[in-house]
Amino acid sequence: MALANDPRHVASLMLSWNSLELVSITTLQTLWAGYGKICGLTVRATTAEAAEHLSQLCGVDTGAVGSTYPLILKLISPPKQKLDHDNPTQNEGHLRKILSYEVEQYFYTEVVPLLGDDIAVAKCLSSTRNMKGKEGEAELEGLTATIMVDLRPKYPIAGEKRGVLNHTQVHGALEWLASFHRRSWDLNLLQNGLDPYVLPPIEEYLRRQDPEKTPGSSLWLNGGYTYLATRRTEFASLQADNSEWSFAFGSPLTPDSQAPVADEIASFLTPWGESRLVESYIHGDVKSENLFTSTEGNKVAFFDFQYVGLGLGVCDLAKLFTCSVPLELLTDHPEPLPDQLEMCEPEARLLKRYQTRLLRGREPAFYEWETFKFHWETALADWCRFQASWGFWGNTEWLEARVHSILNDHEWRKRLHHELKFRDFNK
């Protein structure tokens, strides 16, 4: 293995930038399709300043020279792929991954320092994003490597893959999401407009091929990885299979509409910028597998920010509720559930709990319930479209019943049509 791809060598180089030395390294996870590794590090401070800095970063009592600390290295060294420049859609999955790791590194290096200490997220020690002029720069060129704080000492309980959280953990996750979404409102997300955000993979690839255009260099314009602009192939397959969902999402929103309802939903959820102030940063891949909790379960820390970007916070809730929340927290209707299901009291209770925390310090009118509920149901329908074209998992019966009810609600359809006209008028 070339030294530039060796996690031990990479870690040692990057630690030296902060007067730290590597004590041990353990591979925790190999990334999908051989795109890299996540490693656990034990490091030692070689100066008093390094010990003080790392103690503050880790949130522990100030250490001394020789103190050791647990850190995480995320090293991206993707397999080489020959891109088909004439038909980049053949490489969409690869492009999505490469861009997602760039986005994640930007998040840890540029956004996390702005979030404050109240939101549990790993703080970044060093990254190849900020390595200009540092030892080993030439060796590390082309790699995406980030060293960050290890969350596990404070949050020792790992969420399980496709696991269901207990009631306490669900409430902890809602608290974290509400705090993250609310805090991002304060970060002046649009101070440079929408141009710096990374476009959907194919669009961003084409933008980067044009020397007269400036590439996206921050977070995703559309947070998440399920939105329609990047799932056209799967949706085309859904439309061709003549299933109930191909009709439900492929039919027009209104009798005089040309576009399928799925496109209208996707258009509504695409960031509006200054004309919709309740947009925030969203995590983009909220599930039990991407969080740790305290021993009691009431404190939660999320990780895996490859799909962080702009959006409506309820889009994070749609995946969480479907994939990781116990069914009894969503409905009190006896099983089997009916084909159509309106919002039940348990679902409303969870949503209002989140909304109350989201609006902490703001007037209720900033994001009143009816608008919030409409956004939620639109996000839920979009998430169902993805699952219908990709494969259902989680609280499938609940999701399908809820979205049948939403798509058959004439008032919801009327409002979606009205909101899109309003947006177009204000462009």
Does 103 lie in the same domain as 191?
no
Q: Which among 149, 167, 200 is the end of a domain?
A: 149
Does 216 lie in the same domain as 113?
no
Does 107 lie in the same domain as 201?
no
Instruction: Show the domain range for 68.
Output: 3-149
Does 104 lie in the same domain as 194?
no
Query: For the chain, which residues score pLDDT lower than 70?
Result: 1-4
Read off the pLDDT of residues 62-81 as tens digits, 9 standing for 90 and up: 778 999 999 999 999 888 77
Does 415 lie in the same domain as 391?
yes
Does 204 lie in the same domain as 166?
yes
Does 311 lie in the same domain as 162?
yes
Q: Which among 114, 133, 149 is the end of a domain?
A: 149
Does 45 lie in the same domain as 114?
yes
Does 306 lie in the same domain as 185?
yes
Three-class HEC string of the chain: CCHHHCHHHHHHHHHHCCCEEEEEEEEEEECHHHCEEEEEEEEEECCHHHHHHHHHHHCCCCCCCCCEEEEEEEEECCCCCCCCCCCHHHHHHHHHHHHHHHHHHHHHHHHHHHHCCCCCCCCEEEEHHHCCCCCCHHHHCCCEEEEEECCCCCCCEECCCCCCCCHHHHHHHHHHHHHHHHHHHCCCCCCCCCCCCECCHHHHHHHHHCCCCCCCCCCECCCCCCCHHHCHHHHHHHHHCCCHHHHHHHCECCCCCCCEHHHHHHHHHCCCHHHCCCCEEECCCCCHHHEEECCCCCCEEECCCCCCEEECCHHHHHHHHHHHCCHHHCCCCCCCCCCCCCCCHHHHHHHHHHHHHHCCCCCHHHHCHHHHHHHHHHHHHHHHHHHHHHCCCCCHHHHHHHHHHHHCCHHHHHHHHHHHHHHHHHC
Does 316 lie in the same domain as 175?
yes
* Per-residue model confidence (pLDDT) at position 293: 97
Q: Which among 98, 121, 149 is the end of a domain?
A: 149
pTM, two decimals, is 0.96
Domain at 365, CATH number = 3.90.1200
Q: How many domains does the chain have?
A: 2
